[in-house]
Amino acid sequence: MSDIRHAAVITGASSGIGLAYARQLSQRGYDLILVARRKERLEQLAFTLEEHSRSNVTTIVADLANEADLRRVQNVFAERGDISVLVNNAGVGALGPTSKVDVSIVENLVKVNVLALTTLSLAALSAFKARGHGLLVNIASVIALGPSVTAAAYSGSKAYVLNFSRSLEQEYAESGITVQTILPGPVKSEFFAASGVSSPGFPEELFMTADTLVETAMRAVDMKENVTFPTLADSALWTEFESARKKFYKSVLVTGKPAARYASGK
């Protein structure tokens, strides 16, 4: 067995999808750098993982909406030479009609879902590029594909994650670096409760457990699938969607003149 060890950074690691990634990456032999706001949960998780695996676990208590905390996490990629995986899982919901959601909560969402994810992605890619390999996992959502009257900021942030990640995927396609974008549906986690939603409004059968989601996503990486819809039965539908998107994109770039329907009629 190789003595070379690799480490994974996981944000939002104290519960839900992040916790599932911590468990499963430790089973695959990774050392872990776990990032979350809740110190007690992180310390308990680190103790449990080190007790039941060979992983060395480092914890960083950080609120990624706080610039100083974000910079501390960002600096880890320059300080350590063993990081080969980043899972950008931390996220905020800010769910509800915009007339009822406090603007400070939306600002916090943008800082975590967009700014922190972007900052850490770029830091990780810089480190991965220097080593010639690495895996960047960004957690988006199926809501990235359509607007929502009760999740405007969340939907917008996940659409950003999708386009940002796919652009990086193309940019680093020949580099040995893998960029995976995961678009899950509802997941059994603390997400809705943390967003102040007592009843998510989805039938129970639509919910996937965090462990199943991560197992599926990691199999997708092994299959070299960069965009992962864990519940999509017919992958040809995504191919069709992408083809239609590209066709539409080309249709708006054929001329610089206004379309005929906008003619004044004079």
Comparing CA positions, the residue from 27, 160, 155, 185 lying closest to residue 88 is: 160
CA 175 to chain centre: 21
- Is 172 among the catalytic positions? no
pLDDT, residue 162, reads 98
Per-residue confidence of the chain (266 residues) as pLDDT tens digits? 345 689 999 999 999 999 999 999 999 999 999 999 999 999 999 999 999 999 999 999 999 999 999 999 999 999 999 999 999 999 998 788 898 889 999 999 999 999 999 999 999 999 999 999 999 999 999 999 999 888 999 999 999 999 999 999 999 999 999 999 999 998 876 665 565 655 666 677 778 999 999 999 999 999 999 999 999 999 999 999 999 999 999 999 999 999 999 988 65
Distance, in Å, from the CA atom of 46 to the CA atom of 59, rounded to the nearest integer, reads 7
Q: What is the pLDDT, as a whole number, of residue 94?
A: 79
The residue from 21, 154, 172, 249 that is catalytic is 154
Condensed to tens digits (0 to 9), the pLDDT of residues 86-110 reads 999 999 987 888 988 899 999 999 9
Fold (topology level) of 7-234: Rossmann fold (3.40.50)
Domain boundaries, the chain: 7-234
* Residue 2, pLDDT score: 45
CA 249 to chain centre: 25
Cβ atoms within 10 Å, residue 124:
26
Cα separation, 1 vs 230, whole angstroms: 32
pTM above 0.85, yes or no: yes
Nearest to 111 by CA among 78, 159, 153, 155: 153
Distance between CA 253 and CA 146 in Å, rounded?
A: 23
Return the percentage of the chain with pLDDT > 70, whole number: 92
pLDDT at 265: 64
* Closest C-alpha among 220, 151, 153, 147 to residue 182: 220
